[in-house]
Chains A and B, each alone.
Chain A
Amino acid sequence: MRPRSAAALIALALCAGAAAQERALPLERLKPGTDFLGADLRALQSDDLGNPAMLWVERGAKMWSERAGTAGRSCADCHQDAAQSMRGVAASYPKFDAARGRLFNLEGRINACRTGHQGAQPFAHESQELLSITAYVASQSRGLPIHVGIDGPARAHFEAGRAAYYRRRGQMNLACAQCHEENWGKRLFAETVSQGHPTAYPAYRMEWQTLGSEERRLRACLSGVRAEMLPYGAPEYLDLELFLAWRAEGLKIESPGVRR
């Protein structure tokens, strides 16, 4: 091929942008985590009273109306009814905030509101407060399809997240892709490997016996391949969350979910 034609083709591919983004797991083959659960846990997730995660959602609902910080404002003071204002939010996160010039996941966005609009201290990672309010906000997107933007300033984060996904790590020298892309549906001991989508987070994970964030789940994966768990708040988690959300395009939000 003559160099001029090759350059033209590359230019065309770049212009097509996100639409031309190749998917290792095509959209038609996406399966949410619930497909890999046993019948008991699958039923528990849709049991409004039995799903333990709903205890955190209920607390989050109360927190929504609680005044906080130097501004003495509650979430409700700005956002009114969460069922309206927060509908679709979790399905579109992580999202790049142009005003603040950074990528946020839902937890980060909530804390930005705490500090920026309420004049309150941010909630600590994995704190009961942060989990509760995140679960409440995320639950407002239940049933809605995931769709995140990876263009413009989000692009660099997306690329970093994708690189992280395919990077081998840990004593077992495994990359996320090796289990969740190359071997999903196969057995690892008694478990069936899922495709590793983030549709259910924050989720009540039986292994934790409590509700936990997507970030905690990523830490658990690092621990699983015997890699050093990056500290909470590490940018790599955020980049990965963006990549994972893009990878799960179209899958319905299940938060708050139940997982093994």
Chain B
Amino acid sequence: MAARIQVPQQAKRGEPMPVRIIVQHPMETGYRHDEVGHPIKRNVIHELSCRYNGAEVFRADLSSGIAANPYIQFFTVADASGVLEFSWIDDEGVRGSERAPVVVA
């Protein structure tokens, strides 16, 4: 599952920094039907979390009310250089993860 992450090129120590992520996922609602009228089964990313140098700093419980190819922006205090690691899971149990380096000055 593809995902793209964006963090400031250089974050100021002790300041909240914006973190943005977009994940490629249809977030299938379960309310749609195919061309022959069969319902398309629901499959959404229902949990997405972010660990910053190992500690969880953000978690989201999502539903079909979140748009396809879910995008989230949140803030986290830039305390040390290191890595942001995202992980998520959908209704079919498929897991995804993506990481991005963080540079704190």
Most buried by B among A55, A58, A59, A210: A55
> Taking the complex as formed, is B93 at the interface, i.e. its CB lies under 8 A from any CB of chain A?
no
Task: Decide: A58 and B4 in contact? CB cutoff 8 A.
Answer: yes
Q: Which of A49, A58, A204 contacts B2 (CB 8 A)?
A: A58
How many angstroms from the CA of A52 to the CA of B25 in the assembled complex?
10
Task: Decide: A209 and B68 in contact? CB cutoff 8 A.
Answer: yes
- A50 and B22 in contact (CB under 8 A), knowing A55-B69, A58-B4, A209-B68? yes
Q: Which of A50, A55, A204, A209 contacts B20 (CB 8 A)?
A: A50
Task: Decide: B26 and A210 in contact? CB cutoff 8 A.
Answer: yes
Task: Decide: B71 and A50 in contact? CB cutoff 8 A.
Answer: yes
Binary interface encoding of chain A residues 183-212 relative to chain B, with 1 for a CB under 8 A from any of its CBs, else 0: 000000000000000000000100001100
Sample of 10 A–B contacts (CB below 8 Å): A49-B22, A50-B71, A52-B24, A52-B68, A52-B71, A54-B4, A54-B22, A55-B24, A59-B2, A209-B26
Closest 6 CB pairs of A and B: A209-B68, A52-B69, A55-B24, A49-B6, A49-B20, A55-B2
How many angstroms from the CA of A197 to the CA of B3 in the assembled complex?
30
Q: Which of B4, B24, B26, B27 contacts A49 (CB 8 A)?
A: B4
Number of interface residues of A (CB under 8 A): 10
Contacts of A204 in B (CB 8 A): 69
Task: Decide: B68 and A55 in contact? CB cutoff 8 A.
Answer: no
Contacts of B6 in A (CB 8 A): 49
Most buried by A among B3, B22, B69: B69
> Smallest CB–CB gap between B34 and chain A, Å?
14
How many angstroms from the CA of A136 to the CA of B2 in the assembled complex?
15
Contacts of B67 in A (CB 8 A): 209
How many angstroms from the CA of A52 to the CA of B69 in the assembled complex?
7
Contacts of B24 in A (CB 8 A): 52, 55
Query: Among residues 37 to 78 in chain A, which have CB atoms less than 8 Å away from a CB atom of chain B?
Result: 49-50, 52, 54-55, 58-59
How many angstroms from the CA of A204 to the CA of B71 in the assembled complex?
14
Query: Among residues 2 to 19 in chain A, which have CB atoms less than 8 Å away from a CB atom of chain B?
Result: none
> Smallest CB–CB gap between B33 and chain A, Å?
14
Task: Decide: B22 and A52 in contact? CB cutoff 8 A.
Answer: yes
